[in-house]
Structure 1
Amino acid sequence: MRYSRTIFLKIGLYCLSGFLVNTTVQAQQITPFKEADRVVFLGNSITDGGHYHSYIWLYYMTRFPEMNLKVLNAGIGGDRVIEMVKRLDADVFAKQPTVLISTFGMNDSGYFEYNQEEPEKFADLKVQESFNAYQEMEKRFLGLVNTRIVLLGSTPYDEHVVIKDNQPFKNKNNAMKRIVKFQQESAKKNNWEFFDYNESISKINSKFQEKDPSFTISGADRIHPDNNGHMVMAYEFLKAQGFAGKKVAAVHLDAKHTSVLSLENCAVDNIQKTSKSISFDYLANALPYPLDSTARGWGAKYSQYDALKVVPFMEEMNEELLKVSGLKGSYQLKIDEEVIAEFSATALEKGINLSLLTQTPQYQQAIKVMFLNEERWEIERRFRDLAWVQHYFFQPKGLLNADNRKAIEVMDQHVAKDGWLRAKRDLYAKAMHPEIRQAWNAEISMLEKLIYQLNKPIKRRVSLVQISK
Structure 2
Amino acid sequence: MQTVRRLSLCCGLLILWNASGAFSAEPRRVDRLDLQDGDTIVFLGDSITHQSLFTQYVEDFFYTRLPGLRIRIHNSGVGGAKASDALQRFDRDVAAYKPKYVAVLLGMNDGGVKPYDDELFQTYRRDMNRIADRIVEIGATPIWMTPTMYDATAARASGRPVPAERTEFYNATLAYYGAWLREFAGTRGGAFVDLYGPLNELTHQARRDQADFTMIKDAVHPDAPGQLVMAAAFLEDLQFAKPLSNIRITVGSQAPVVRATGGVATEVTGTGDELSFLWEADGLPWAPPPETEAGIRLLNLGHRWTREALEVHGLDPGQYDLLIDGEPVGRFSAEQLARHVELQSNPRTPQYQQAVQVAELNRKRNDTAIRPLRNEWRDFQAARRVEAGLAFQPDNEKLKAQLATLQKSLIGIEERIAAHETLASEIDNEIRKVNRPLPRKYELKKHVPAEVSVRIREGGRPLMNALVQLHGLLGVMAEARTDGTGDCLLQTQSGSDLDPGDYWLVIKPGPRMELAAADMFSQMVTVRSGRNEFELQLETCLKSQ
Paired residues, number: 402
Which of residues 355, 358, 366 is equivalent to 2:347?
358
**How far, CA to CA, are the matches of 1:269 and 1:393 in structure 2?**
61
**Equivalent residues in 2 for 1:399-438 (5 A)?**
432=412, 436-438=416-418
Question: How far does residue 39 in structure 1 lie from its aligned partner after superposition?
Answer: 0.1
**How far, CA to CA, are the matches of 2:179 and 2:248 in structure 1?**
46
Change (3 A) 1:50 1:434: closer
Instruction: Kindly indicate which of the two structures has a greater share of residues assigned to strand.
Output: 2
Question: How far does residue 49 in structure 1 lie from its aligned partner after superposition?
Answer: 0.9
**Match status 1:441 vs 2:421:** yes
Question: How far does residue 274 in structure 1 lie from its aligned partner after superposition?
Answer: 6.1
Match in the other structure for 2:251: 255
The AA in structure 1 aligned to 2:48 is: I
Match in the other structure for 1:156: 149
Question: How far does residue 394 in structure 1 lie from its aligned partner after superposition?
Answer: 6.4
- Once the two structures are superposed, residues 58-108 of structure 1 have per-residue CA deviations (whole angstroms, 9 ceiling, x without a partner) of 111111110121011000000111111111112221222110010111111
Contact 1:104/1:153 (8 A) holds in 2: yes
**SS, match of residue 171 in structure 1:** helix
Change (3 A) 1:196 1:412: closer
Match in the other structure for 1:21: none
Contact 2:52/2:371 (8 A) holds in 1: no
Match in the other structure for 2:82: 80
- Once the two structures are superposed, residues 257-287 of structure 1 have per-residue CA deviations (whole angstroms, 9 ceiling, x without a partner) of 4413310011111123367532111111111
**How far, CA to CA, are the matches of 1:76 and 1:49 in structure 2?**
9
**How far, CA to CA, are the matches of 1:433 and 1:178 in structure 2?**
38
Match in the other structure for 1:195: 193
Match in the other structure for 1:460: 440
**How far, CA to CA, are the matches of 2:339 and 2:298 in structure 1?**
24
The AA in structure 2 aligned to 1:336 is: D
Match in the other structure for 2:39: 37
Which of residues 157, 180, 183 is equivalent to 2:181?
183
**How far, CA to CA, are the matches of 2:38 and 2:233 in structure 1?**
23
Change (3 A) 1:395 1:233: same
Contact 2:251/2:271 (8 A) holds in 1: no
Match in the other structure for 1:89: 91
Question: How far does residue 136 in structure 1 lie from its aligned partner after superposition?
Answer: 2.7
Question: How far does residue 320 in structure 1 lie from its aligned partner after superposition?
Answer: 1.0
Q: How big is the alpha-carbon RMSD for the aligned residues of Structure 1 and Structure 2? A: 2.8
**How far, CA to CA, are the matches of 2:384 and 2:123 in structure 1?**
24
Match in the other structure for 1:172: 170
Question: How far does residue 385 in structure 1 lie from its aligned partner after superposition?
Answer: 0.1
Structure with greater Cα Rg:
2
Which of residues 323, 332, 335 is equivalent to 2:311?
323
The AA in structure 2 aligned to 1:165 is: G
**SS, match of residue 451 in structure 1:** helix
Match in the other structure for 1:63: 65
Match in the other structure for 1:385: 375
| TM-score after normalising by structure 2 | 0.68
**How far, CA to CA, are the matches of 1:131 and 1:452 in structure 2?**
40
**How far, CA to CA, are the matches of 1:349 and 1:180 in structure 2?**
45
- Once the two structures are superposed, residues 2-51 of structure 1 have per-residue CA deviations (whole angstroms, 9 ceiling, x without a partner) of xxxxxxxxxxxxxxxxxxxxxxxxx9844353332200000100001141
Question: How far does residue 326 in structure 1 lie from its aligned partner after superposition?
Answer: 1.3
**Equivalent residues in 2 for 1:301-320 (5 A)?**
303-320=291-308
Question: How far does residue 360 in structure 1 lie from its aligned partner after superposition?
Answer: 0.8
Task: List 4+ stretches of structure 1 deviating above 6 A.
Answer: 409-413
**How far, CA to CA, are the matches of 2:225 and 2:43 in structure 1?**
19
**Match status 1:332 vs 2:321:** yes
The AA in structure 2 aligned to 1:317 is: W
- Once the two structures are superposed, residues 357-407 of structure 1 have per-residue CA deviations (whole angstroms, 9 ceiling, x without a partner) of 111111111111111111111211111000112222367459xxxxxxxxx
**How far, CA to CA, are the matches of 2:351 and 2:30 in structure 1?**
29
Change (3 A) 1:432 1:411: farther
- Once the two structures are superposed, residues 281-307 of structure 1 have per-residue CA deviations (whole angstroms, 9 ceiling, x without a partner) of 1111111111211xxxxxxxxx12331
**SS, match of residue 286 in structure 1:** coil
Which of residues 276, 281, 292 is equivalent to 2:278?
281
**SS, match of residue 100 in structure 1:** strand
Percent identity for Structure 1 against Structure 2: 24
**Match status 1:225 vs 2:222:** yes
The AA in structure 2 aligned to 1:338 is: E
The AA in structure 1 aligned to 2:331 is: E
Match in the other structure for 1:7: none
Question: How far does residue 254 in structure 1 lie from its aligned partner after superposition?
Answer: 1.2
**How far, CA to CA, are the matches of 1:96 and 1:437 in structure 2?**
17
Change (3 A) 1:281 1:194: same
| TM-score after normalising by structure 1 | 0.79
Task: Kindly indicate whether structure 1 or structure 2 has the higher relative contact order, using CA contacts under 8 Å at least 6 residues apart.
Answer: 1
**How far, CA to CA, are the matches of 1:216 and 1:197 in structure 2?**
15
Contact 2:281/2:439 (8 A) holds in 1: yes
Q: Which runs of 5+ in 2 are unaligned?
A: 1-28, 389-399, 450-545
